[in-house]
Structure formats: C-alpha cells, structure tokens
A and B are shown apart, each in its own frame.
Chain A
C-alpha cells in the first residue's frame, strides 16, 4: 500500500446529513490533496494543503469543507450534498507541493448521496 489511508471506504448519506471523510498519512509529507473522481471524467482537484495551509481551492461548492489540523491528517466535511456529488473521493499526499514530486494516493472513499 501507499501509506495513505482513507476512512471510511464506503459512505451512503442522505442529502440532509453531515458526515466527514478522513485521510491519514505517516509518510512525513508536507502536502495533501483532495480529488473527486467521477465516471468518464478527469480527476477533479478540489483542495491543496501545503504545510497545513490551504494553497488551492478550485471553486468547490461550500457544502464541501476541508480541514487540515496537522500535516498527517486531512478531513473533508460534507453537508447538504446533492446526488451529483456521488463519486470516489481520493486523498493524496506528496513530500511537498513542488511540481516534480509525485503524489501518493489513498484507496478512496466511495460516496453515495441518496
């Protein structure tokens, strides 16, 4: 495995629920990312954190709220989601946010909004 762990692996939630996705890495990396993967579409970058500070936010709806309490943990808080938000949410980390470093991905959380 890559050293990036995501929980839960599967999540079903109603549109009025509040839930959180968790990502954890103990690779000593300083940058962490959230991506959304929908069928037949490119991976969509959602958020980038470098040294616990958000450095990129790609026009993501406010119903998605990230939190990076330390360099090893990243959360994605979800509330009042829509069915079209159903997707695989991938967390990744890299040693830094520099352009030449590859990212290591978790296995993802399969989210279904009903």
Chain B
C-alpha cells in the first residue's frame, strides 16, 4: 500500500530564511512524487513532481525538492522564503508500477512565513 508522511503539522520561518517542508513516502514499487500548495479557500495547485532523472527537481515560485531513494524522502525547499509562501503544502505519491491509481496525499504541513 502507498502512504505519505508529513511529520510536521506546522513550519515557521522568517522571511528571507531558507525553508524545508519534510515528506517521506512508502510504495511497493518505484514512486512518482508530487508537491501541491493550497491557499485559503482554494483548491490545490501543482508545484512540482519527480518522475525520473535528476534527483533535484525545480518547480513553481522558486521551490525545489530533492528525491532521496535511500531515505525514501522528497523534502520541499526554498532558499529564501516570502510571506506570500504562507499556505498549506501537500506531498503526494503514486506507485509507478501500478496503473490506474490516483495520488495519495499526506495530511499537509502549514507553512507560516513571518515578516
């Protein structure tokens, strides 16, 4: 069975500082990994995904994530946080070897960036 863990309910950072939002996953096969962001009263917006190739993936709004197979992690990072980055972030996984399955999401991490 697939699962995603986001160990932190909330991450607090000051504007201009680097941020990391953690994600670990479990799949029986090889993973496709995704990050989404949700602003208040909005649906989820796609940020980036890892399919294959370089372990470091760059996405929207200056975010990037690093796939680490040995640690089964896909942490989201940004070198310099903005107040406007404050939102709810979801990590998601699909098993590459199982067709017809949908994304499985973590419970989300609230990022709060203070000015």
| Contact surface of A with B, Cβ cutoff 8 Å | 2, 4, 6, 33, 35, 40-43, 45, 48, 50, 55-56, 90, 92, 97-100, 102-108
Contacts and interface: CB of A to CB of B under 8 A. Distances in A.
A48 B102 contact: yes
A55 B100 CA distance: 7
Interface in B22-52: 32, 34, 36, 41-46, 49, 51
Judged by DSSP, the binding face of B is loop
B58 to A, nearest CB: 15
A108 B32 contact: no
A15 to B, nearest CB: 25
Interface residues of B, number: 29
9 contacts: A35-B105, A42-B104, A48-B102, A55-B100, A90-B43, A99-B96, A99-B98, A102-B46, A103-B103
B107 A41 contact: yes
A40 B42 CA distance: 16
A99 B90 contact: no
A97 B102 CA distance: 7
